[in-house]
Each structure stands twice: as structure tokens, then as C-alpha cells.
Amino acid sequence: MKIKENFRFFLKKAPGPWLCAAVAGVLLTGCGTQPVWQDTFYTMDTVVTLTLPASDENRTRESLEALSRELDCFGAEGALADLNATGTSRDALLYEIIAQTAVLEERFGNGVQLSSGALTRLWDITSAQPRVPEETDRLAALSTVGDHRIRLEDGSITLPPDMQLDLGAVAKGYALDRIAAQWQDAEIAYGVLSMRSSVLLYGEKPDGNAFTVQIQNPDGKGILGTVTTPACFLSTSGGYERFFETDGVRYCHILDLSTGCPTETDLTSVTVFTDNGLKSDFLSTLIFLGGTGQLEAHLHAQDYKVLAVDTAGRIYCSEGLQFREAEA
């Protein structure tokens, strides 16, 4: 059995002078000479790189660490652990995440659902001991999935007795939304927060230039190209960094909730650029799962942009996204 990266918490997602933060799928570049304050730390089971014009006295780090504790579906404590254990909660943070995701599911369908916790635990793909479950166990876990069964009413969340939530498809994006609001309240002029697969590009750089994002080639061979963009949120989904292999079969960490098995999509990488972190996180997973057969409509969306790569190396890019392919 071969295991590639042991990131257990969220199943999806080298500092330099301005913005050079390595993340899963993208590399932020365009470094200039402006003085910055940077911090690199580990939380939400990922390496986080923070770039700001001056120290924020660890307020961002503390906020992310608090969110990590509350949203960890594998932990023994925290709001999500309590909800999964008791089936009920009045936690405002969880309520907001579930409600926002429900709006996206209403628009885009149920390819991504938060009620996949039983399947996540069964496969345990990002742990040190992933496994291929028995079919009977897989089907039993699959039968517990169904976000329409989550009841939200007057600030209260109620789950069916058999349901477990896993917020991995949206948690990093939601965390970026919280930090963006925190930075706005603090009147921070600009900043970059990289959580590997999800990134916040905030405000306006002192030199007035746009942000530049290098998209990594999912085949591991250098850079696919660069995207020039104003401030935004972006998230990347792909199966090339988190997977395990056994008996010659590779199993991606992203589960197809129509089968209860790891996805067999014909896309290798999807990056979504938009104005909301949770939406970028949700959509990158949804589009990746849908494959090229469902990609066309997303490429023409008005409120988000997509850059995708398929298994044959073909690149798909939304009109209006300023992408420049790297020279061969």
C-alpha cells in the first residue's frame, strides 16, 4: 500500500518578499520590494502561510486555530464533534456553514454534501491506515448521506440519528471568509492567506498591480501557467496529491457521493476564482466530481471563473479569466 500525504482533517487543499506561498495546485508570485510581515504555521491539518503589511499580533493565527478546533470532525472536542455526538446543536458558526452550503446545493445540486461523515470515516483515506471497505459497509454508510435531512430551525441544528457531518468540502473556504471579514474590520489594506488548496487574496497591493497566481501542473511537471487577478478567493481540487494505492489501484481522497467510492472523474485539477471562500471551496470540489461532461456550464458562469485540466492534459478556461499558459 502506498500513501501519498497524510492530511487527516479536511479532505479536499516558501515565503518570499511579497507573495510567494506554495499551495496545492497554485503558487503565488509577483513578488516586489514592499516590506511585509509573514508567518507560517500549521493548523486545520495544513501548512498556512500568512502575508500582511505589518504584524497582526497573531489574531489571524488564533482565529484559524479556534476554527480548527470547532470544525474538526475527527476530534474529540469542538462544536462539530459535539453535534456529531449528540445530533443537535445551537452553535451559530455551524448553523451559518450549513445554511450557506444549503443555498449552494439548491443552485448546483447535491454532488457535494456535508452529511458524508460516515463515508469519510469508513474509507479513512487521509489517515495512516486507509482501507477499501466491504461493499455492505460502504452501502450502509452511503445510505446515511442526505443533506436534505438536516433540519435547521430558529438557530438550531438537528441531525438524524444515523448521520455524521464532515465539513471538509467547505471548511477552509469558510475560514477564509471569516478572516476576510476580520481584516476588513481591522482596516487592513491588503494580505494573502494561503491554506494550500484555498487562498485569500485580499485588498490592493501597494504597487497597484494585480495578484499573480501560478497554477501547478497536476502531472507534477512544473507550472501549467499563470493567472492575473484582482483580489478574490480561489480553491483548487484534484486527486493528484492526496490518495492511496493498494493492489495496483489508486484511490482519490474525494468521494463520489453517488457511489460512495473515490471519484473516477476525467478531470485532474479544478481551480475556482470567485468573491466568496466557501463558494470557491464548494465549487472546486463539485466541478472536479462532475468531470468534463458537466464542465461547460461552469465555464460560462457570471459570478465565478474556472480553470480546469483533464486527464489528457487539455486545459479549460473561463472567458475573461486572464490565464497565460506556460511555454513548453
Q: What is the DSSP string of 36-59?
A: -EEEEEEETTEEEEEEESS--TTH
pLDDT in tens, 21-31: 333 344 454 44
The Cα-based distances of 296 to 10, 25, 320 in angstroms read 28, 21, 15
For 117-141, b/e burial (b = at least 16 CB within 10 A) is: bbbbbbbebbeeebebbeeeebebb
State the pLDDT at residue 10: 33
Q: Where are the domains of the chain?
A: 67-158
Cβ burial, residue 161 (10 Å; 0-12/13-18/19+)? exposed
Any idea which residue has 473561463 for its cell? 318
CATH code of the region 67-158: 1.10.3980
Query: How many other CB atoms sit within 10 Å of the CB of residue 207?
Result: 10
pLDDT at residue 246, as a whole number: 61
pTM for this entry: 0.87
pLDDT band of 80, cuts 50, 70, 90: very high
